[in-house]
Structures are given as structure tokens and as C-alpha cells.
Structure 1
Amino acid sequence: MDDYEWNETSLEHLLTEIEKYTPLAELRGRPKKIRYVNVLLMGRIASGKSSFFNTVESVIKGRLSIRSRTDCAASSLAKSLDVYKVKGRRTFRHLRFRMLDCRCLEEDQSINSRDVEAILDGHVMDGYVFNQGTPISKDNSKFRKDPSIGDRVHCVLFVVDGSNPPEITMSQNVEKQVKELQELMNGRRIPQLILLTKIDTIVTVKEDLSKVFHSRSVLEMRDKVAMSFGLPSYTVLPMQNLANSRTASTEIKMLTLYNLRQILRAADDYLENFEDEILADTNQIPCCGLQLHI
């Protein structure tokens, strides 16, 4: 936690950092077209995917948000690609990130891999309705024909139910889907993180969430989840959503903002891999801290 203390002062520091976040802030002459970083949420039914967005918005706005429908049905509620932006509490302006919520990884009705490929590349617009048998076509009104780097997915967040760990509950079919999708992401150098939700089911942190990074039980679960996805342990972010509470404690707020900051940093890592492409798009060359317009 970068030696943060779990108090209102640290909470204000994190909130200010997120409200002031700008994609690739250190890159002088960064293009205005990258107004937002795009984070794709993927997970199984009832993993806490939609609840995470609601928790993020609730913490930032300072009031309960239920804008994203939570999964409580037998099949995924996310039948379309929903793109969410969040307004800052003090600026009333959209913060510089978007969360893309798509249908879940299901046993029999999962998202088409060609649709995922189109989403990753920035072709799919907000509101596109998925058709399991037929992926999006170039003739669809929700198909973006010439996406820029600002339209692509910059980070993927796999949301995992901590009370039903994947090494036990993930079927071979779902595991195969995940591996196929990860190949698409790896080929595009897209960072992948794992959000481990419902950590209050772990006894050692149930009464004191601030101990989450020091709990042996959490660390053991982190390592198992990371292994099941073939990702490093440090990519796992423990999380407690506002599922059964109308108000957020300081600890939940801290954990939410800390995880969001790590997600934004991962998105920046993606953009750094394409710095030359970004500069070429704007015809700008950084030189001694100055911008040269060609």
C-alpha cells in the first residue's frame, strides 16, 4: 500500500491522485485523442464484476451508486457492451477512465471470441448487443471502422469470486475460454489484472480489512488464483465490494481507490508500449522537454 495509513488523510490523497489522473501524464505532447483509458471487465456470473463498478462510483461520488446492474440471475445480465464513465465529486467532470462491461464467461453462453477481439481493438461501440452465434460485422451500426489507440482496451480486469476460487470451480470449458482470450490479449500486449472479490469471506480480514495485505490466508488464495490464470501473483488485487452495505467504511474506500490506481497504472504501461505510435498520430516529437510540431 506504499506505506499508506488507513485513515482519512491517505484516503484524500488517493482520491486526489485519481481525480487528477491523465493517461501518460509524463509524456509531453500527449495526444488529446487519448482522453480516457479503457478497462475491460470480464468474469463469471455473480463474481462481482458489475458491483465493482458500482463500488468505484459510490466511493468517488460519495453516495451509493447502482448504475450497473449486478448479476443475480442464472445467466449473465450483460447482454450488451456497456461503457461507463465516472464524474468526479468535486470537478463534476468525467474522470479519465472508462470501464467496459460485457457478458460473462459462462459455461454454455459465453461471449464470442471474435467479439472480444473486436472489443480489444476498439471496433465495438457502447450499446452493442451480443449475438452468441454471430459476432459483430463491419456493417453493424455499432462497429467502429477506424479505431484509434484511444479506442482500444488498455487493461483487462478478470473478476474472480473469492468465495468460489477458480482452481475449484472453473470448468475445463471456461478455463479453455479464458486461455483463448488471454492469447488474444497477450498478442496485443494488453496488461491483465485479477480482482479477487468477496474477501470478507476470509476470517482473518472479515473484522479488519486493513489487514488484507498481511493475511496469510489472502496471500495463499492470491497465489492459487494467479496460478489458475497463469499470471504473476502481484497482478491479483484483493477487493471487497459494497454488496451488502449502503455505506462504505474508510477501509473499503481505501482498498477501492488503491485497486483503481493500480488498474490505471497498468493501462499506462500499455500506452507506454506504443509511445512511438502515439507521437506519430499527433505529429509531435519530444525533444529536450519541448514539443516540435511538424
Structure 2
Amino acid sequence: MYVRSQSDDIYGDVWTEEKAYCVEVEVHRVQDAEDLLFSPWREVSWTEKKREELRENLTLYKPSFEALSKVRVLLLGPVGAGKSSFINSIRSVLYRRVSLLPIIGSVSEGFTKKLKCYDIRAEKGGQPTALTLCDAMGFGDSEGTGMTLHDTLAVIKGHVPEGHKFQSEASINFNTPGYRQSPAMEDTVHCAVFVLDACKVLSYSENLEKKLKKLHRMISDLGIPHVVLLTHVDQVCHAVQEDVQYVYTSRIVQERMQKAAELVGLPLSFVYPIKNYASEVSVNCNTDILLLSAVNQILQAIDDASEDYPSAPQEAETKR
């Protein structure tokens, strides 16, 4: 077979001579090559040193607002987006092994029915960090299904006791058992996190989008920071499935992140992709870094927002 050498922009001449003869030729197609950018659009250091630095940032974190000793982060989103799995994954990162906790499940109407707050500990059996992650009922496709906007705001303002079982047909009110009439600052939510599924952001219903945008406006009026976590990014891009360090060079992940931002009404810079531990039996450095980076951004958002309210978030609302 006769082959003429051609110059390649990246590798130069493939053949040392202008003309060459070969007996066999193998042609290989690079799968998903067009889906990857030449350089990442967000810089991340994928090293063991970075993982330990981020882990230490979380375990040693103290709120910049002196009135707070702990911060409460509420996870919100559609059923099955991965809210409970995120809590399990953060615990896995800190325990340095995949944690097998009975807080997740897979049922169409949603696994979580109650408000449950989880202390995030620096190690198994260790002292709690300053971060508490709160899980609640998932959103349905309409106001009449899943957790309602009314109940969501009641949780954020600190009126709802832990363990409350949500019921779409019975809104939280003054007669709800354990209702806090005048919640303390530590009872309120200090950051709301929208958890969306990268596999579904293109097909979420119009009703759900309206709910997300309306909630975004209401939370903004309260002066409470909120961000978006985009889960299952490994399931929309083969390269990311192989190694999450490709997450910021993946065109499809970038597009799904942009869509997630549009669904809520936030800038793209407020969206953080993650991969929860699901099928793995051991933790992975790059997956840990992606998870811890998201937590670090959440804590920074809380500290940035604390500069704008002199006491409690709900008091800031009263002064508007």
C-alpha cells in the first residue's frame, strides 16, 4: 500500500520520509473527541495535595459571622436528583471510604419524606464540623405534588422542626407540631442548594421550571445565598465517566450546566458539577476534589452573604 506523508498540526509528520510503503494500516476513531475542548474552562488542580487542602478547609471551617457556630445548608430539587446521595458522598469523602448509610433510595415519588439534618463529621465517630446538611422532600412537577413553595420557605426561615413529615395537602402553619414562632438564627437555613440532574435538565417540565425560578426570586428576597449542584455529570459524557477531571473540558457538561443555570435563573458561575458515589466501593481522588470543591464554594457563598446582614436572614427581610 502506498502512503503519502502529510503534516499534522499537533504531531507533525507521521512518516519520516515523504513517501513510504506499509503492509498494514490500522485506523482508530477517537470516541467523543469532538465533545472535548482543547483546554478546561475552569481550572482545577487534580492532585492528592489539593484533596487534602480542600478536606482541611471543610473540617476546620468556622463561619465568618461571629453569631454563628454552625451553618445549615438545605438541599432542594426534583425527586431523584441526588440530594441524599450528595450527603452520603460528602461523608464518604471525609471517612475516606464509601459510606453505606440508609438515607438514600430510589422510588418514583421520592425517598425522603421528612426534614432531616445531618452533622458532617471530620471522621467516623469524630466531632461534627461547622457544616450541617439538611435533606427534605423533593419537588414534584406541579405545585400540588412534592414539597410546596410555602413549606420550602417555612423551612428556610427556620419555622419547621427536624423530623417534620411533609404533606402536600397539609401546609405548615402555626398549629404544626413543633412549629417555631420566632426561630433563632441557628434554626434558619444559611444557604439553599438546588440539586439538578444533568441527565434530565433538558426535559424538566415547564411547571418545575416555573417553581424553581419563583423559589429563586423568593430566596433572593430573603437575602440568602443559593447555588446549583449538577449531579450525574458522568452519565452524560463518556470522558467524564472515565475520569471526572475532564468535567471542565466536556462540551456537553458545559451545555448542561448552562441549562441548569437558566432553569433556576442564576449565572453559570453559581453552578457546580459533581459526581456522587453510587456504584463505587472505594473513594477516588478526583471525585473527592469535585465534591469538596462544591462544598468549598457553598461555604464561601455563606461567608460572602454574611457581610450583608447584621443579625439573622429573616431580620434582614423585615428591614427591606
TM-score tier by shorter-chain length is 0.7 to 0.9
Amino acid in the other structure paired with 2:45: E
Partner Cα separation in structure 2 for residue 137 and residue 58 of structure 1: 36
Larger radius of gyration: 2
Partner Cα separation in structure 2 for residue 61 and residue 6 of structure 1: 20
Contact 1:40 1:157 in 2 (8 A): yes
User: Which region of structure 1 is more displaced relative to structure 2, 82-91 or 155-164?
Assistant: 82-91
Amino acid in the other structure paired with 1:101: D
Q: Which has the higher contact order (CA 8 A, sep 6+)?
A: 1
Partner Cα separation in structure 2 for residue 90 and residue 237 of structure 1: 26
Residue matched to 1:156: 192
Partner Cα separation in structure 2 for residue 220 and residue 175 of structure 1: 17
Partner Cα separation in structure 2 for residue 240 and residue 221 of structure 1: 14
Amino acid in the other structure paired with 1:259: A
2:128 equivalent to 1:94: yes
Partner Cα separation in structure 1 for residue 42 and residue 248 of structure 2: 11
2:77 equivalent to 1:11: no
Residue matched to 1:287: none
Q: Which stretches of structure 1, 4 residues or more, deviate above 3 A after TM superposition?
A: 1-4
What are the equivalent positions in structure 2 for 1:118-197 lying under 5 Å apart? 118-165=154-201, 168-197=202-231
Contact 1:51 1:68 in 2 (8 A): no
Residue matched to 1:290: none
Contact 1:50 1:68 in 2 (8 A): no
2:92 equivalent to 1:58: yes
Unmatched segments (≥5 aa) in structure 2 = 1-40, 316-320
User: Which region of structure 1 is more displaced relative to structure 2, 3-12 or 239-248?
Assistant: 3-12
Structure 1 residue 179 displacement after superposition: 2.4
Structure 1 residue 91 displacement after superposition: 8.7
Partner Cα separation in structure 2 for residue 94 and residue 200 of structure 1: 30
Residues 235 and 66 of structure 1: is their aligned pair in 2 closer, same or farther, counting only changes over 3 Å? Answer: same
Amino acid in the other structure paired with 2:299: L
Residue matched to 2:153: 117
Partner Cα separation in structure 2 for residue 21 and residue 189 of structure 1: 22
Which of 269, 282, 289 is the aligned partner of 1:247? 282
Residue matched to 1:85: 119
Counterpart of 1:137 in 2: which secondary structure? coil
Which of 55, 67, 73 is the aligned partner of 1:39? 73
TM-score by length of 2: 0.79
2:305 equivalent to 1:270: yes
Counterpart of 1:150 in 2: which secondary structure? helix
Partner Cα separation in structure 2 for residue 224 and residue 112 of structure 1: 23
Structure 1 residue 144 displacement after superposition: 1.7
User: Which region of structure 1 is more displaced relative to structure 2, 254-263 or 221-230?
Assistant: 221-230
Contact 2:76 2:138 in 1 (8 A): yes
Structure 1 residue 146 displacement after superposition: 1.7
Contact 1:85 1:94 in 2 (8 A): yes
Structure 1 residue 4 displacement after superposition: 5.1
Which of 67, 83, 97 is the aligned partner of 1:49? 83
**How many pairs align?**
270
1:182-223 deviation per Cα after TM superposition (whole angstroms, max 9, x unaligned)? 232111022221111111121232222112123232222211
Structure 1 residue 178 displacement after superposition: 1.7
Q: Percent identity?
A: 30
Residues 161 and 154 of structure 1: is their aligned pair in 2 closer, same or farther, counting only changes over 3 Å? Answer: same
What are the equivalent positions in structure 2 for 1:201-280 lying under 5 Å apart? 201=235, 202-274=237-309, 276-277=310-311
Counterpart of 2:185 in 1: which secondary structure? coil
Residue matched to 2:35: none
Contact 1:11 1:250 in 2 (8 A): yes
Structure 1 residue 227 displacement after superposition: 1.5
Counterpart of 1:135 in 2: which secondary structure? coil
1:24-54 deviation per Cα after TM superposition (whole angstroms, max 9, x unaligned)? 1xx5xx12xx221111111112211111110
Structure 1 residue 64 displacement after superposition: 2.4
Contact 1:54 1:68 in 2 (8 A): no
Partner Cα separation in structure 1 for residue 105 and residue 76 of structure 2: 12
